[in-house]
Homo-oligomer: A and B are copies of this chain.
């Protein structure tokens, strides 16, 4: 699996999904093309999915928000007769490297979080309308919808057969959503996760696994009624969307990538990717009408779309670049002006969507298993949303005083109102609140510094950066840090970062990425699941995995 994985797609290229739009209700059909697998060696039978299927779903969900803001309810259905979705493709999982499995699960988790949150963030509620078997990752898709309807017949059911069949977990949020979203009683959850054949009809409702079981004969009618009810109960919005065009992206031979506002420079020997984000190359929109007219070209939207693509590209295609370095260059005042416009108009659907996409993209940074350092250099524009990158990183270095031969404006950090609530982390508090968990009063005090040009010594005193170095020390300190980081075990770094990035409260989201993912990763490394005699390899042979029975 070494071919480059491209996260950019559009409806003209979909092989696995289609959407019917009818006013404020959209119907999303999963209809996986068996022969459309991202890699060789498996067929996507029974609406099973691989990363390629999920890349399309991610695109659907994103476009639903930007291109179809009129949609209030999305009904997720299967395009197949007898199956809703059989979950992640087992042969794909059996053949995939450990790293691919982990990355695949992370991306699918992010997509599910995105449509789960669409109701609260954008007034788009996802309903799962389940007919036929809904197994494993299929039920996890349904669980991420905020309402689950199940056909009450002899063949429709929901199930999480991973443990008995595959010796792995329902790891794409399944277990966490069963216990903490649906709040299924734990002994019933235990039974449910042990029975391959799943649970049907009324029992599925009684056990809280679905919201409603409806006889087959009435199913389509009741689903339509329910969609109508939910849409009517939602606040009015009839905006016309914008089009998300293809990104302007060039990938060079050496792996460096250039977008209109983002550059990735690659140093393979040092195992480092340097990601530079550029400040505004155009002015603040004059009005929300002007913002809509700019479409996908407004600075904040273009930048975040490019940045998101850069993150996904580096995660999946450049796994040996273990250190990401964030830089910015540009006019901090202009950054603040653009963000201020969005904040002032956050009741406008498009300004809201742009801010929401920033929130989601910054969350992708938080759960990225790479060491991240932020360099606050002269000429940089770490202000508002870009300042979040300082606190999303594992540590930061800031230039102090003038550097010889460097005419760029002196480095500053600029706080904005946005840093105090617009871009919460997965733990549902801001990066500043997480950073200053011991001193909530300091976060309050920082509000008094909104807009200030905070130079290095001050930024250090305020705790906003890790280190400030002057011209004499800068190069050496950065070099030593980077060399040191590149020498550490990647696994230990991943574990370290997963534990120290999310202090404070826990949410379903942090629990999925922190706890559930960690256990799944452990199991993915165990011979009982992935060894040559393990369950994933033996799946479909009729022979159970040959297990080492020691409990660990």
Which one of B103, B321, B396 contacts A187 once the chains associate, using CB atoms below 8 Å? B396
- Given contacts A519-B495, A551-B494, are A488 and B437 in contact (CB under 8 A)? no
The answer to whether the Cβ of A438 comes within 8 Å of any Cβ in the partner chain is: yes
Which of A138-146, A174-182, A215-223, A259-267 has 4 or more CB atoms under 8 Å from chain B?
Answer: A174-182
Question: Could you say which of A27-35, A150-158, A160-168 contacts chain B?
Answer: A160-168
Given the complex of chains A and B, what is the CA–CA distance between A434 and B180 in angstroms? 10
A489 CB → nearest B CB, Å: 3
CB contacts (< 8 Å) of A505 on chain B: these are 506
Question: A194 interface residue, CB < 8 Å from B?
Answer: yes
A496 within 8 A of B: yes
Give A163 to B488 CA distance when docked, in angstroms. Answer: 7
Please indicate the chain B residues that have their CB under 8 angstroms from the CB of A501 in the complex.
186
Residue on B nearest A160 in the bound complex, by CB: B496
Task: Let me know if A99 and B169 touch, CB within 8 A.
Answer: no
B191 near A466 with CB under 8 A, answer: yes
Assess whether A394 is in contact with B500, with CB atoms less than 8 Å apart.
Answer: no
Query: Does A395 sit at the interface, judged by CB under 8 A?
Result: yes
Pick 18 A–B contacts, CB within 8 A, sort by A.
Answer: A99-B550, A99-B551, A164-B484, A167-B489, A169-B495, A183-B438, A186-B501, A193-B496, A319-B552, A320-B549, A321-B551, A489-B529, A490-B551, A490-B552, A491-B522, A495-B520, A495-B523, A522-B525
Q: Which of B190, B193, B515, B520 has a CB less than 8 Å from the CB of A514?
A: B515
Complex CA–CA separation, A77 to B7 (angstroms) = 56
A506 touches B506 (CB 8 A): yes
With beta carbons under 8 angstroms apart, the residue of B438, B484, B516, B528 that contacts A499 is B516
Contact with A515, one of B434, B515, B520, B547 (Cβ below 8 angstroms): B515
A226 within 8 A of B: no
- The answer for the CA separation of A319 and B535 in the assembled complex, in Å, is 21
B499 touches A506 (CB 8 A): no
Q: Which of A268-294 contact B (CB under 8 A)?
A: 271
Residues of B contacting A194 in the complex (Cβ-Cβ under 8 angstroms) = 484-485, 488
Question: Nearest Cβ distance between residue A472 and chain B, in whole angstroms?
Answer: 21
Question: A526 touching B523 by the CB < 8 A rule?
Answer: no
In the assembled complex, which residues on chain B have CB atoms less than 8 Å from the CB atom of A526?
489, 491, 525
Given contacts A320-B550, A489-B547, A552-B98, contact A500 B191 (CB under 8 A): no
Query: Given A435-B186, A466-B191, A494-B551: A511 and B506 within 8 A (CB)?
Result: yes
Residues A471-502 near B (CB distance < 8 A) = 484-485, 487-501
Pair B549/A490 contact, Cβ less than 8 Å: yes
Flag if A550 contacts B490 (CB, 8 Å): yes
Query: Of A393, A436, A438, A496, which is in contact with the most chain B CB atoms at under 10 Å from its CB?
Result: A496
Q: Is A5 an interface residue (CB 8 A)?
A: no
A489 engages B183 (CB within 8 Å): no
**Extra A-B contacts (8), CB below 8 Å, given A321-B551, A506-B511, A525-B526:** A102-B552, A167-B492, A179-B500, A186-B503, A187-B396, A190-B497, A490-B549, A492-B529
Which of chain B's residues have a CB closer than 8 A to the CB of A162? 492
Please measure, in the bound complex, the distance between the C-alpha atom of A361 and the C-alpha atom of B545, giving whole angstroms: 34
Q: How many copies does the complex hold?
A: 2
Q: Hey, which chain B residues are within 8 Å of A551, CB to CB? A: 99, 319-322, 369-370, 490, 493-494
Nearest CB of B to A351, in Å: 30
A122 within 8 A of B: no
* B490 engages A547 (CB within 8 Å): yes
Structural contact, A163 and B320, CB atoms closer than 8 A: no
* Interface status of A518 (Cβ within 8 A of chain B): yes
Residues in chain B near residue A545, CB distance under 8 A: 489
A18 sits at the interface (CB 8 A): no
Q: Are A488 and B164 in contact (CB under 8 A)?
A: yes
Question: Closest CB of chain B to A390's CB: distance in Å?
Answer: 9
For residue A394, which residues in chain B have a CB less than 8 angstroms away from its CB? Answer: 186-187, 190
The answer to whether A549 touches B271, judged by C-beta atoms less than 8 angstroms apart, is yes
The reply to whether B498 and A519 form a contact with Cβ atoms under 8 Å apart is: yes
Do A437 and B167 touch across chains, with their CB atoms under 8 A apart?
A: no
Residues of B within 8 A of A183 (CB): 437-438, 503
Give A551 to B370 CA distance when docked, in angstroms: 7
A333 to chain B, nearest CB (A): 26
Q: Decide yes or no whether A410 CB sits under 8 A from chain B.
A: no
In the assembled complex, A548 has its CB within 8 A of some CB on chain B: yes
The chain B residue with its CB closest to the CB of A106 is B552
Binary contact readout A91-132 vs B (1 if CB under 8 angstroms, 0 otherwise): 000000011001100000000000000000000000000000
- Asked whether A185 is an interface residue with its Cβ less than 8 Å from the other chain, the reply is yes
**Cα–Cα distance between A183 and B544 once the two chains are bound (Å):** 47
Complex partner residue of A190 from B193, B434, B500, CB under 8 angstroms: B500
Which of B169, B322, B395, B492 interacts with A163 by CB under 8 Å?
B492
| Residue of chain B at shortest CB distance from A369 | B551
- Contact partners of A337 in chain B: CB under 8 A: none
| Cβ-neighbour of A208 out of B271, B438, B485, B504 (below 8 A) | B438
A164 cross-chain contacts in B, Cβ below 8 A: 484, 487-488
Which of chain A's residues 439-462 have a Cβ closer than 8 Å to chain B?
Answer: none
- How many Å from the CB of A495 to the closest CB on chain B? 4
